[in-house]
Structure 1
Amino acid sequence: MTSPPSGPRSGPPSGPRDGHGNAPRDGHGNAPRDGHENAPRNAPRTPPPARTATPQDDIAARLHTALARTLAARDTSPAPVDRILAAGRVRRARRRTAAVAASAACVLAVGLAAWLPRLDARTAPEPVRSRPPVTATPRPSQDSLVTARIAHGTVDGTAWSVTLEYRPGMHLLCQRMLIGTERVDSSGGPWSDCQTVRGAYDPAMSGEEGLWGLSGKGTEGLRLFVANCTPDVASGAVTLTDGTRLTAPTVTVPGTGYRAWAVAIPDHRTIASVDQYDAGQMPVSHETQWR
C-alpha cells in the first residue's frame, strides 16, 4: 500500500475541530469568534441582566406624565389679528386728525398776522397808565441795615464823609467817618465807632458831640466835628478863630430818631464857637469850649 504524503494538507478541513484549534474555519481560514473566541458564529448571545429601577426613574416618569397632561389641557388661542388691525386704523386716523389741526392753526396764525395791522388805531383801547408808586418813609426791620449820609465834601484836596448806620438786629448805631480812604479809628476794629442802643428811638444818643481825626486825638490835621443832636435842632454852625463860619443841616436816619450834622475843620485851624438852631433859625445852644 502506498502511504499518504507527508506535509500539510491543502483544502478545506475534513471535519469539525475541538476548542483547541480544531474548530471549523471560514473560506479565509479564520475561525468564528464569540465573547470567548471559541463559540460557534450563530450561537445565541446571553442577554444582559435587567437594570433595577431607582427612585429618580419614578420621579422622571411622573414629571413626564404631568407635562404631557398640561400640554394636552392647554388651549392655544389664535393671534388677535382683527384687534391689531383695528388698533392700527385708529392710530392712523388720530395722526391724520392732528396733522389737519396743526395745518389749520398755522393758516389761522398767518391770517391773523396779516389782518391785525389793518385795525384802526382809533378802535384800540387806550393803554392803562400806571400811577407812580407811593413813596413811604422806610422803617427798619429786625435784620436790615439803615444808613444815612450826614455830610461829605473835600478840604484841601482830601475827601471826607460822615455816615450813620443803624443795625436793628444787633442794636447798634455806628458813626462811620472817612478821611480820604481811611476810616477814623479803624485800628480799633470794625465796631470801634459803634454804640449799643435801645431800639430805634433811644434818647441817650441825643446831645453827643465830638471832634475826630486820624492822628493827635483830633487836634491836628483834617478833623471832623460831628453833633448827634436833639429833635429840635435843624442846623448847626462852627465858627473858626479866623472868622470862617461852617454850617450844615441835620439829617435823620430813616425810621429812627437818630439825627446828626457834621462839618470838616481844616488843618491848623481852631474852633471859636459851636451854635445850633431850630427850624426857625432861633438859637438852641451856644458852646465855646472847643479848640
Structure 2
Amino acid sequence: MHISARLPQLGYGLGLRVEYYQELLEHPQGVEWLEIVSENYMVPGGLPLVWLERFRERFPLAMHGVSMSIGSTDPLDEGYLSRLAALACRIEPAWISDHLCWTGVQGVNLHDLMPLPYTEEALAHVVERVKQVQDRLGRRILLENVSSYVSFADAQLTEWEFLAAVAERGDCLILLDINNIYVSAKNHGFAPLRYLDGIPAHRVQQFHLAGHEQGEALIIDTHDAPVASPVWELYAEAVRRFGAVSTMIERDDHMPPLAELLAELAQARALAEPLLRNAA
C-alpha cells in the first residue's frame, strides 16, 4: 500500500458547526477550509449529508474525529473504521484526524478524551494501532495532543516525547493544538516552548486554536471562549518553528456570532503571515 507523503496546506479555516451553516455559505469572508466532526456525518443519509455536500462544493474539508480511541486496550472498532472510511470515500477530505487518547474501555464510551500513561509499553501499543488504522484507511492520519489534568507516576517520557515518538514510529502526522499545550503546561508546570521544541517539524500538518477557562486549581480546555492572549503568543512561536501550517479556530459552546470567529481567524492570519514572509 502506498501512502502519500505530502498533504496540502489549506490556509486558515473554521470548525463547521450547524449554527453557521447558512451564513458560511453566503458570507465565507476569508474562510479557506472547514474541519468537520466526523461522527456528525457518519450516517447513511439525511440532512447532515445534504448540507455537507453543499460545503464540499465550496471548501476543502478535513475530518476530525473523537471516537477512534487509539490508545484504548479494547480492540479497534472495525464498524467505526468502516463508517469513517465510507465518509472519507464520499467527501474526499484533505486528511483525517483524531486524538492521542483513549475514550473508552470494555465497550463503555466515557465521552471524554482521556490521557495516556507516557510509557514505552503504551507507546508500542499506540504505534501498532496507528499502523493498523492507516492500513485500514489507506492514508496517514493526524493525531492531536489533548489537554491534560492528571499525570502518571510511572511515566517514562514527557508528553511531547511521546507524541513525537508516536508520529515517527507510526509514520503519522500531528495536529498540534496550541491551546491544549498551554493548558497542560500550566496544569503540570512545564514550559510550553519546551513542548514545541520537542516536536518534529516535518510531522506537523495542522494547528488548532481555541479558548479555555481558568478554574480554581486548573485551567480547563472548554472551547467556549475566545483564544487567550498567551495562546496567541504561543501560536506565534509555533509559526516561527513550523512555518506555514493549516490553522483553524475551534468553538464548541457559547457560540458567538460568526463575525467574532471570522475576526479571530483574521487575527491568526495577521499574526502568522508577517512571520512567514520574514522567514522566506
Q: TM-score, normalised by structure 2?
A: 0.20
Relative contact order, higher structure (CA 8 A, sep 6+): 2
Normalized per residue, the structure richer in strand is 1
Q: Which structure features the higher share of helix residues?
A: 2
Higher Rg of the two aligned structures: 1
TM norm structure 1: 0.20
